[in-house]
């Protein structure tokens, strides 16, 4: 099972790295931001459970309530939300490789490892903050007075803004329905860390 997950994550990574897939996912700014980047993060999350047993004790102990891991994931993912970094990834193969490595390893993997250590309240707080900030980033893309990316036009920039706002709204709605109906496991399930 563990090996299966690792193989799936690796296979998934290779598929995303294939030039036709890459160019398809990067040809549009909204798809780049709302599909490719989350998929790369998801690869790290998928690989987290089998890799947990290899996590150095020192790192596990230092990851108090999952906060350091979540902060690392937040920085790694935020970096690739910047227009300059999107451009860089398209212009420079090394930067592209950096994106393909950093998002699973510094974004998804710490997220997958630390999420279970975080108490339910912390998870809910992160989630409740993530949704409006995603919407706010979308709003900022819409409000940007100039073209932000050399590789994407203003129309694609606006489309990306609306996509992020739509994703934020959808996540908010789904989360609310889940909590209202009584299936909030993702947020309030028992955690591994100290209470």
List residues near other proteins by CB under 8 A: 120-121, 124-125, 128-129, 131-133, 135-136, 139-140, 142-146, 172, 176, 179-184, 188
Crossing angle for the helix pair 93-102 and 83-91, nearest 10 degrees? Answer: 120
Q: Which is nearer to other proteins, 145 or 194 (CB)?
A: 145
Tokens of 46: 């998928």
Assign residue 65 a region: left if phi > 0, alpha if psi is -120 to 50, beta otherwise?
A: left
Smallest gap from Cβ 42 to other proteins, in A, equals 24
Smallest gap from Cβ 8 to other proteins, in A, equals 32
- Listed residue (50, 103, 113) closest to 78, CA to CA: 103
Smallest gap from Cβ 143 to other proteins, in A, equals 4
Q: For 94-116, b where at least 16 C-beta lie within 10 A, e where not — what string?
A: ebbebbbebbbebbbbbbbbbbb
Report the greatest alpha carbon distance in the chain. Answer: 50
Helix (H, G, I), strand (E, B) or coil at 107: helix
Tokens of 135: 């919407």
Smallest gap from Cβ 144 to other proteins, in A, equals 7
Smallest gap from Cβ 4 to other proteins, in A, equals 33
């Amino acid at each position: 099972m563990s090996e299966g997950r690792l193989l799936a994550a690796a296979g998934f990574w290779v598929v995303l790295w294939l030039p036709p897939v890459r160019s398809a996912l990067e040809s549009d700014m909204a798809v780049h931001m709302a599909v490719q980047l989350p998929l790369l993060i998801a690869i790290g999350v998928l690989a987290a459970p089998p890799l947990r047993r290899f996590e150095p004790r020192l790192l596990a102990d230092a990851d108090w309530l999952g906060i350091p891991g979540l902060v690392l994931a937040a920085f790694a993912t935020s970096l690739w939300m910047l227009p300059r970094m999107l451009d860089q990834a398209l212009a420079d193969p090394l930067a592209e490789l950096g994106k393909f490595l950093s998002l699973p390893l510094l974004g998804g993997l710490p997220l997958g490892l630390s999420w279970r250590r975080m108490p339910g309240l912390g998870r809910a707080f992160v989630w409740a903050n993530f949704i409006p900030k995603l919407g706010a980033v979308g709003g900022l893309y819409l409000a940007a007075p100039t073209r932000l990316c050399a590789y994407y036009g203003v129309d694609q920039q606006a489309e990306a803004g609306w996509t992020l706002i739509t994703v934020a709204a959808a996540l908010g709605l789904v989360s609310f329905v889940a909590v209202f109906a009584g299936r909030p496991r993702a947020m309030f399930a028992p955690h591994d860390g100290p209470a």
